[in-house]
A and B are shown apart, each in its own frame.
Chain A
Amino acid sequence: MKTWRRAGAVVVLAAMLAMTGCGRDDGAGEEASAPVAEGKATGDITVWAMGTEGEKLSVLADDFMRENPDAKVTVTPVPWDGAHDKLATAIAGKQTPDVSLIGTTWMGEFAKTGGLDPTPADLIKKEDFFEGAWNTTVVDGTSYGVPWYVETRLFYVNSAVAARAGITAPPKTWEEFKSAIVALKTKGGAKWGVNLLPPGSAIGSWQSIMPFVWSNGGDVATGGGFTLDSPQAVEAYAFYKSFFDEGLAPKDLAQATLEPAFLKGEIGAFPSGPWHIGVLKEQGGADKFQLWQMPGRQSATSFVGGGDLAVFKDAKNRDGAWKFVAYLSRPDVQTKWYQTISDLPAVKKGWDDPALSGDPLLSAFGKQLEDAKSPPAIPTWEQIAAAIDGEVEKMTKAGAKPEDAAKAMQQRATSIGTGA
């Protein structure tokens, strides 16, 4: 009975407050982190993790509990599909777990709710992580989490096609890259030299165009605002678009056709993350491909994504939660995690193990991680990404000019704002 009345009170209160209006306080800025108590972790620690990570995390949790006998870690796996909504509502209803895996591009949004706890500097050392990955946790100058695993994008190239095209070494520059792609098509016999857009829709195409912008010295935003229409960016868009104009890249590849077409040699190359090693192996292409680093100009920068771990303000066991996070960031645990589900370590030392450094395919990803960037961690990022996707689609499919696309991206991003 009491709870019912409370609910009624909440609604009435909401109505009254909304009527009078309170207005926002603009108190954003750096937030200090509180230290974490010394000693072993104790008490219940609840953790959410998505997909395979959620399914297998209990393996590491068991190890952790052996080291900290007074702590009890409960892992709830959450499907990726719907995970964003689940986190958003949990923060709204103050029903969060202690720790959760959070997609790198969601950090800005969730940190801005004030629902995430700043990373305790006494426990976690920034220098241990890849810089690009660490930056995904930094919002308004404060870090709100820890990179757990990373992925970056390389070009997967069909070896047979490359051999026919007479390519012996991966291209280093944009010019070499372009002529290599042309060769994959003309000499290598591929129908398409490269596939750049995600199959099935243009959603997520920002991940394949931004590396070119970054490599050309451009960026999504600098301190002063968005720079999506900078000369460097426009030049990168034009380079990207040229693959479509010259018939080197398909405009509308249907869903799920990429891998079979690639293995048959119909598509010469495509950019993707480390998970494609497994996908191609599953389809009988284990030894049919090679990996190319991003071609360079000012730099040779790729995209870095993955997952971060964050502790919530509403956590019931904050100290225990951070200790668990710190444990997951230990180099030996990171290596074990790779051996468990093939997630690449976000901690640099985690790569020292021969399982990773001795594998030519993986070490290619490791090398690229040294030069990889993420989009700015701002709460409006997903919306800006969608705007970029839309303009990339207009440019590649409907022939919009790079200058116009740049102008439209910049204008849409500016009107969306940074959510500050």
Chain B
Amino acid sequence: MSYNFKQEMNKPERLAPGHRMCAGCGGTIAVRAVLRALHEGDKAVIGNATGCLEVSTFMYPYTAYEDSYIHNAFENAGATMSGVETAYNVLKRKGKIDDTFKFITFGGDGGTYDIGLQSLSGAMERNHDFVYVCYDNGAYMNTGIQRSSATPMYADTTTTPVGSKSNGKMQNRKDLATILAAHDIPYVGQSTLLGNFKDIHTKAEKAIYTEGAAFLNIMAPCPRGWRYPTEDIMEICKLGVETCYWPLFEVDHGKWILNYEPKKKLPIEDFLRPQGRFKHLFKKGNEDLIVQFQEEVDRRWEDLLYRCARD
């Protein structure tokens, strides 16, 4: 699968301009990147859990989607797409439809890591032929930056506020890609918004065109929630990868593959410093919190290296 950046960028957009997502929103960039991986001519049904993306892209009577689209509720994007995909199989078998359709569902970390995890797990275990894409911005941004199980430790959110007796969220983030890999589905990939978008494009194409269930976890920064200048999004994503906070990997039919190993792993401060939600970590006396954060990143990175080396 050769990748030509210019060619990809010249494809017609399947998420039309004019939607109401914030300027610089990582979620929107992720959606456009994933939809670009659909082959021209292939039809698609796009699913969506309730969240920023849904309320901003399908506000009656306007839809930003060129393809068919269904939003049902917050916690059931997986189950809803199970029904759509099954209907496709039946109607195709009965000769009622001819076209080839692909199925892609988007959810934020709230709809995916938390309230929608059961529905997602069920759909993946049943191996429905669709891709579930989590655009992970690490908090419930739609309702106003409340912590989720994807929120990193010590992040300042509106339900884990930093105060005289609090350093923000007290727990580590859930490793969802690994949980999905444990479902033994055909394909799991973790990516983010990088450089010429080759990584996310390649993974999205694999996920869409691999038969059976596939899951993509995409770090999609939210400038409002993370508190960094909007225009810095690509730098933030890059630092997430170079510090090994957000490693790029895939699990293809059970095989763990590390897609990128930094030549020189950067210290986690480089990722944390530009973000307002971690500002308190750089106050005098909080040095040990950063040490702890670094230890957790290292532990997870070593664990990933081990999984990938073993395969």
B is bound to A:
no
Chain B interface residues toward A at CB < 8 A: none
